[in-house]
Structure 1
Amino acid sequence: MIETAPETLLSIKELRTCFPTRAGLVTAVDGVSLDVRAGECLGVVGESGSGKSVTFSSVIGLVRRPGYIAGGSVTFRGRELTALSPAELRAVRGREIAMTMQDALTALNPALTIEEQIVEVLLAHAVDLPRAGRKAEARRRAVDMLRLVGIASPETRIGDYPHQFSGGMRQRIMIAIALACRPMLLIADEPTTALDVTIQAQVLELIADLRRQLGMSVVLITHDLGVVAEYADRLAVMYAGQVVETGPTRAVLDSPRHPYTRGLLGSIPRLSDLDAPIRPIEGQAPELVSAGEGCRFASRCPMAVGACYARIDLVDVGPGRAARCIRALETAA
């Protein structure tokens, strides 16, 4: 029996997103190419400012002037999203692609009840609501969503305001809003920010369970390599607006091919050897106004040579793997 590869749900090709500033033009996303397959979880990691959130905000049309998409292609189920009108893109956003923001307290409207915020999404995007009793049916589904994400007594709590919930509960509510219309793709942007360890685990397990139940794809944006090791099928490492390494999660973590990926792994404390020194990455990320064509990690890389300051593209370094490094094979060794 021949197994067919999962279809590509989202395809990003050479995406460039720019922001004019007083210092000059900042290319926050510079030539990013990524695919998300049906049913998989793609982990996207990198330090703050690497372009993770801006990449996927660009995908769903949340970048606003003065920021703009300067080039590239974003196709979802074969449909070019960058060519859609604002109204057409709104029909995709929320219904087929949903995104949870980093800070649920600021993302939720403090002046509206949880019921109003979930029902609003359903009335705007759910195409199967009956004409008669639309609001009543939307409220019933809102209660069901709160129950699905583990909110106790959802019939009562649905009338509460965001400040009446804990941080972990607010994250669950954000997930409920994102999943209200059963999207095919969930973009989870730092879903465990500012949560304690036990609540982090609950939120991540919730996303994993819902992924299995609903058969959706997930993009998990995070700083935490431990999180992607546990939950992501494939991994993309971003640095200074570019993808520097991609591949199956276990292969990348076991045998990183880019020095930046090795640096991230070296910065993690090892439970197996608590006395082992933590090796931070020396130096600072480059200013994106004047990043240049060469490897953006070269100034911090102990393996850098003269050729690293010329243009470097992603190259294949193994089955399903790529790295933006001219010394990728030496890095593996």
Structure 2
Amino acid sequence: MTGAMGNLLEVRGLRTVFDTRAGEVRAVDGVDLDVRPGECLGVVGESGSGKSVTFASVMGLVRSPGRIEEGAIRFEGRDLRALSQKELRRIRGRHIAMTMQDALTALNPALTVGEQILEVLYAHDETLPSGGRARTEAARKKAVEMLTLVGIPSADERLRYYPHEFSGGMRQRIMIAIALACRPKLLIADEPTTALDVTIQAQVLELIADIRTRLGMSVVLITHDLGVVSEYCDRVMVLYAGQVVEEGPTAAVIGDPRHPYTKGLLRSIPRLSLRGQPIEPIEGQVPDLIGLPPQCRFYSRCRERIDACLQPIAMREIGAARRARCIRLEEETRP
């Protein structure tokens, strides 16, 4: 784990639970993470691994029956958990922005896209004139600039359109424009290519990468696709059943995965370099997060399990920049 110096976002010991009739669901259980200025962090894992809940917790968007049980969340050194809702709203949208998985349901169908961008600008952009026609014109000009930035043609005219009048790829671009309206320092992109065809997926990801470079912002890219991570992310964090199981520079993790779950994810995706090699899905399912036994959470699906895995497993450092949660690392002797 990187030290505290210079990190934009730091999360330590985050535990987020949901109280249900069946019991307490530990959706996020002891997650530590850092996001550095200007970098792209990829967060991968199957559905139910805790990716979205982790960053909903960072944004202060977890609502009943969910709650943050413990943990520290610091952005630019400020403790977000100690802030009031009013203070948190000043940061959310202005300094940290998040795009949701499905643009059609995330956008308000009753408002034009222009109204939705203006709403963010009026709430968070302190550079706008204080009132009157000048404020409206300045905000509208910025809205046009944002739609142009994300590649929406005829942006001035399109401000008057409703979300359903755009294609899926265009709606995703509009949601990115809304998130970037106040030029945040951190963009959390939660499955930004869900339900899009392959060509449009590539366009959206290239757009995020290009804007990241131009604005110098940090990006957290939440996805289930290690292929996307290998192309766009500087570092990768692998989540499984609410815990981080591996983390490190993307090239190192993809080239030499150290946790059996990461290895399984890589075996389950097609790669041109391994043409002719069969794709091997990971057998079994993510475990029920209610009343988990104190053992490796990947135990029941792991090809490499041993009896010693039936105990709590801590993260282990692998050099200066990598770590993984596997007891077999103790057995390895590497130069």
State if a TM-score over 0.5 links the two structures.
Answer: yes
1:43 maps onto 2:45 in alignment: no
**TM-score normalised by the chain length of structure 1:** 0.96
Unaligned runs of 5+ in 1: none
Could you tell me whether the CA contact under 8 Å between 1:100 and 1:178 is conserved in 2? yes
Whole-Å separation in 1 of the counterparts to 2:191 and 2:102? 8
Whole-Å separation in 2 of the counterparts to 1:179 and 1:280? 37
After superposing the two structures, state which structure 1 stretch, 70-79 or 302-311, moved more. Answer: 302-311
Provide the secondary structure at the position in 2 that maps to 1:275. coil
* Corresponding residue for residue 212 of structure 2: 211
After superposing the two structures, state which structure 1 stretch, 121-130 or 306-315, moved more. Answer: 306-315
1:147 maps onto 2:153 in alignment: no
1:143-198 CA-partner distances (Å, limit 9, x unpaired): 11000000000010110000000000000000000000000000000001011111
* Corresponding residue for residue 191 of structure 1: 192
1:47-106 CA-partner distances (Å, limit 9, x unpaired): 000000000000010101111000000000000001111111101100000000000000
Residue identity matched to 1:16: R
* Corresponding residue for residue 92 of structure 2: 93
Whole-Å separation in 1 of the counterparts to 2:117 and 2:255? 41
* Corresponding residue for residue 310 of structure 2: 309
After superposing the two structures, state which structure 1 stretch, 108-117 or 264-273, moved more. Answer: 264-273
* Corresponding residue for residue 269 of structure 1: 270
Provide the secondary structure at the position in 2 that maps to 1:109. coil
- Within-5 A mapping of 1:31-110: 31-110=30-109
1:221-247 CA-partner distances (Å, limit 9, x unpaired): 001111110110000000000000000
Provide the secondary structure at the position in 2 that maps to 1:295. coil
Shift of 1:305: 1.2
Residue identity matched to 1:40: E
C-alpha spacing 1:214/1:195, structure 2 compared with 1 (3 Å)? same
Whole-Å separation in 2 of the counterparts to 1:314 and 1:124? 41
* Corresponding residue for residue 222 of structure 2: 221
Provide the secondary structure at the position in 2 that maps to 1:88. helix
Residue identity matched to 1:243: V
Provide the secondary structure at the position in 1 that maps to 2:229. helix
Runs of 4+, deviation exceeding 4 Å: 329-333
**TM-score normalised by the chain length of structure 2:** 0.96
Shift of 1:332: 9.3
C-alpha spacing 1:96/1:332, structure 2 compared with 1 (3 Å)? farther
C-alpha spacing 1:224/1:294, structure 2 compared with 1 (3 Å)? same
Whole-Å separation in 2 of the counterparts to 1:124 and 1:100? 17
* Corresponding residue for residue 112 of structure 1: 111
Residue identity matched to 2:13: E
Whole-Å separation in 1 of the counterparts to 2:136 and 2:35? 34
Provide the secondary structure at the position in 2 that maps to 1:68. strand
Shift of 1:328: 2.6
1:21 maps onto 2:11 in alignment: no
Whole-Å separation in 1 of the counterparts to 2:36 and 2:54? 17
Residue identity matched to 1:96: H
Provide the secondary structure at the position in 1 that maps to 2:245. strand
Shift of 1:331: 7.5
C-alpha spacing 1:270/1:88, structure 2 compared with 1 (3 Å)? same
Identity of aligned residues (%): 68
Whole-Å separation in 2 of the counterparts to 1:332 and 1:280? 29
Whole-Å separation in 2 of the counterparts to 1:329 and 1:311? 14
Shift of 1:270: 2.6
Unaligned runs of 5+ in 2: none
Whole-Å separation in 1 of the counterparts to 2:110 and 2:117? 14
Whole-Å separation in 1 of the counterparts to 2:175 and 2:266? 30
* Corresponding residue for residue 328 of structure 2: 327
Whole-Å separation in 2 of the counterparts to 1:225 and 1:124? 36
